[in-house]
Structure 1
Amino acid sequence: MESEVVLSQVADGVLTITLNRPDKLNSFTVAMHERLADAFERAERDDGIRAVLITGAGRAFSAGQDLSDRVTPKDGTPPDLAVTIESYYNPLIRRIKALPKPVVAAVNGVAAGAGANIALACDIVLAAESAKFIQAFARIGLLPDSGGTWALPRLVGMARAKALAMLAEPVSARQAADWGMIWQALPDADLMPTARKLAAALARAPTYGLGLIKQALEASATADLDTQLDLERDLQQKAGFSPDYAEGVRAFMEKRTPAFTGKEPTEKTG
C-alpha cells in the first residue's frame, strides 16, 4: 500500500525495505520505526530471506528524525531525547548489526543525521552519485547518534570524523567512496539495478558463513589479536560443519557453480 510509511517486498531471497515518506524526505517517525522493527524481525525469523536491501522512496534516503513527530511537554521543558534513542534508534542499529544475514543500503539521495548513520550501519553501502551524507546534528546543537560516533572514526579516521561531526558539511557519494565510508558510488540510473543484483547475489551465497563473517568483523573493532584469533578458530569450526562448506568443496572439485542453501550446521560441536 502506498500509504504505508515503510514498504516491504520479498523476491529472490531478498527482503527489500523502502522508507516511504518521500514528501518528508523519509524522515523518521515512531510509525516508521515500528514498521522497520517488524521488517527486521521478519528477516531474522524467515529462512527464505537471505539478504536485506534498504533504500528510500523519492529523492532522499532519509533526512533523519522528523522533529515534528516528537512530543514536547506542555510546560515547555525540552523533550528527553534519550527516550527516542533508547526506544527506537539504538534497537534499530543493533538489529542491523546483529542480523546474521547481509544488509545492503542503496542510498538514493540525501542521508542526513540518523539517516546517514543508519545507512552506514549496513554491511555494504552503495550510493547514487547525487547522494550526500550529512552529519547534521551540530546544526541544532546535538552530537551524532545512531552509532555515528562509533562508525565514523572507524570508517574515515578520527580527524575526518571530528570535522564531519562538528562542521556538519555534506560529503558527496564519490567523496564517501574515496574515503572508504561506503563501498561504491554509482550513476543514479545504475544504483537500484546494481543494488538489486548485489543483494540477489548475496542471497545465493552461503548465508550462514556470511553471518559468521559479519560477527567476526564486528568483534574485531574491540578485540585484541589473541582474542580475535581465538574467535576466528571458533567460528571457522562452526563454518566447517555447515552444509554450505560441504557443498562449496564438492562444487570446487566438480568444477561447477555451488548451490548454497544458507542453512546452519545440523551437528553440534563442543
Structure 2
Amino acid sequence: MALSCIGRSIFIRQNKMVVRTLSSSKYLQSSSVDAKFETAKQQLNSFSNDPGNETKLKIYALFKQATVGKNTTDKPGALNFVGQYKWSAWTDLGDMSKDDAKQNYIDLVSELAKAEGSSVDAEPQQETETDAKVYGSGVLLVKTENQIMTVTMNRPERYNAITVDMYEGLIEILSDAANDDSVSIVVLTGAGKYFCSGNDLKNFAGITPANMKQVAMDSAVLLERYVAAYIDFPKPLIAAVNGPAIGIPVTQLGLFDAVYASDVATFQTPFSKIGQSPEACSSYIFPKLMGHAKACTLLLFNETYTASEAERLNLVTKVFPNANFQEDVRKEIEKMVKLPIKSLVYSKRLARDCEREMLHKVNKDECERLVERWTSEDCIKAVMGFLSKL
C-alpha cells in the first residue's frame, strides 16, 4: 500500500483558479455547443501528453460545473487530500452557468488538442459514449458503452503501478458508477502487458523517521476506504486480468464477482519478502476460496501462480487465450449485461450482505496490522533491501 501522501505532484499548489467566463452571446447555438462538448469529452482521454495537474483540475471542475452545476456538496474530510483539491477547484467556479462551463471546457480541450495535432471540431464518434471525468491524474481511462463501464489502468510504461491518486480515482469511479443508471456492469483491466504491478515505488518517497507513523496511519485510512469501495459496490464487478498481477491487484480479486484471465497472466503477493501482511480481505477470503494450505502458499510463502493454476484454486473464473483476450471477455460480459439489472443487484446484495459486516471488520483489522508492519524494523529493512536490488 502507498506509504507517502506528502510531497508528491498530486498535491498541487492551492491557488485560486481564474477561468474565463464568456458571454453566452458569443457562443454557438446550444446544440452546436453540446455537440462540441461531447466531442471534447471523447477526445480528452485520447491525448498522449500529460497537461499537468493544474490543467487537469480545471478540466475536472469545468466538467462538473457543465454537467451538474454549482458545487453544493460537502467538503471532503481532512485526509482526502485529492478530494479537497477537486472540491475547491469546482467551488471556485461559483455561479458560472452550465453553458459557460461547457464553452470553457471546449476551449481548454481545444488548446490541448492543438498540441496533439487534432481538433475538437472533428465529428464525434457516435458508437461509443465515453466518461470524460479526470480520474487518477488521467491514467485511469473510463469508457461506457452499452451499459458496460470499462476502467483501464493506463500506465503501461510503469506496468500500471498504482499511485495514491489512482487509488482516489478508483474510489471515485466506483462511487459514480454505483449511482449511474447508464452503468450495469463495471470491468477493470490494464493497458499493455501487465494487469497491474502493485504499488508504484514512488509511493515510498518522502518518508522520514519523523513522519513515518503519521504517513502509515494516513495510508491505512486510504487503503481502508479503497477496499470498502469494493466491498460495498452494488453492481456486478468484473476483472479482466490481461497480464501479470502483483500485490493488491491480486488480493482485491476476492471482492470481484467474476475474474477472467489471459493465459499469460500470473498472480503473486510477495508480502513476506518486504515484511508486510495481506490486505483487501484476502486473509479471510482466500482460505475460503482455496483452502488454508494453498492460500498460505500465496499469502505467506510468495508462490507465483499461473492463470490455469489460479483457475483451479477458484481465484479465476475462466482463462482465455491471450491473442483474443479482450474480445473474448467482452463477449462474456455482453451476455451478462442483457440480464435484468435489478435481478443482478439484488442477487449480489443477498450474497454479500450475509458477510458484509465481517468483510469490513477484516478490512479494518488488516489495515491496523499494516500500520504496525509499515513502521516495524523488519519491514523497513526488507523494503530497503528490496529497493537496493532495483
Query: Residue 109 of structure 1 corresponds to which residue in structure 2?
Result: 243
Deviations 1:122-153 (A, max 9, x none): 11000001101101211111111122212211
Q: Does 1:97 align with 2:231?
A: yes
State percent identity of aligned pairs. 27
Distance 2:263 2:286 in 1: 20
Residue of structure 2 in register with 1:153 after alignment: 287
Change (3 A) 1:136 1:188: same
Point out the structure with max Rg over C-alpha.
Answer: 2
What are the residue-to-residue correspondences of 1:158-197 with 2, within 5 Å? Answer: 158-197=292-331
User: Which amino acid is 1:81 matched to?
Assistant: A
Matched residue, 1:65: 199
C-alpha distance after superposition, 1:136-180 (max 9, x if no partner): 211111111122212211111111111211211111100010121
Code of the aligned partner of 1:51: I
Q: C-alpha displacement at 1:78, in angstroms?
A: 4.2
Residue 20 (str. 1) matches residue 20 (str. 2): no
1:143 aligns with 2:143: no
CA RMSD of aligned residues (A): 2.0
CA change 1:82–1:183 in 2 (3 A) is farther
Counterpart CA distance in 1 for 2:160 and 2:192 is 8
1:257 aligns to what?
none
CA contact (8 A) 2:168 2:226 kept: no
In the alignment, is the contact (CA less than 8 A) between 1:5 and 1:31 conserved in 2? no
Aligned residue in 1 for 2:220:
85
Q: Does the alignment pair 1:35 with 2:35? A: no
How big is the shift at 1:220? 4.1
Query: Please, what TM-score do these two structures have when normalized by structure 2?
Result: 0.54
Aligned residues: 222
* 78 and 215 in structure 1: CA distance in 2 versus 1, 3 angstrom threshold: same
Deviations 1:106-135 (A, max 9, x none): 001111111112233211000001101101
Mapped pair 1:45 → 2:179? yes
CA 6–135 in structure 1, closer or farther in 2 if over 3 Å, else same: same
Map 1:204-223 → 2, pairs under 5 A: 204-221=338-355
8 A contact 1:61–1:108 mirrored in 2:
yes
Deviation string 1:8-29 (CA, Å, 9 cap, x unpaired) is 0000100100011111111111
My pick for the range that moved more, 101-110 or 208-217, is: 208-217
Name the CA distance, whole Å, in 2 between partners of 1:17 and 1:72.
Answer: 29
Offset of residue 221 of structure 1: 4.5
Q: Is the 8 A contact 2:189 2:242 kept in 1?
A: yes
Q: Between Structure 1 and Structure 2, which shows a larger proportion of strand residues?
A: 1
> Measured at CA, do residues 82 and 191 of structure 1 come closer, stay the same or move farther in structure 2, by a change above 3 Å?
farther
Unmatched 5+ stretches in structure 2: 1-44, 51-137, 358-390
Which stretch shows the higher mean deviation, 25-34 or 69-78? 69-78
> Are the structure 2 counterparts of residues 198 and 97 from structure 1 closer, same or farther at C-alpha, using a change threshold of 3 Å?
farther
Amino acid in structure 2 at the alignment position of 1:14: I
Cα shift at 1:71:
4.3
* Segment of structure 1 superposing worse, 190-199 or 131-140: 190-199
Confirm or deny: 8 A CA contact 1:13 1:200 kept in the other structure.
Answer: no
1:201 maps to which of 307, 324, 335: 335
* Aligned counterpart for 2:267 among listed residues 122, 126, 133: 133
Contact 1:102 1:202 in 2 (8 A): no
User: Alpha-carbon deviation of 1:32?
Assistant: 0.9
Give the distance between the partners of 1:152 and 1:49, measured in 2 at CA.
29
Residue ranges of structure 1 left out of the alignment (5+ in a row): 224-270
Say whether the 8 Å CA contact 1:104–1:195 is kept in structure 2: no
Q: TM-score, normalised by structure 1?
A: 0.76
Which moved further from structure 2: 157-166 or 197-206? 197-206
Which secondary structure does the structure 2 equivalent of 1:169 belong to? coil
Alignment partners' CA distance in 1, 2:200 and 2:210:
19
Q: CA deviation at 1:75?
A: 3.8
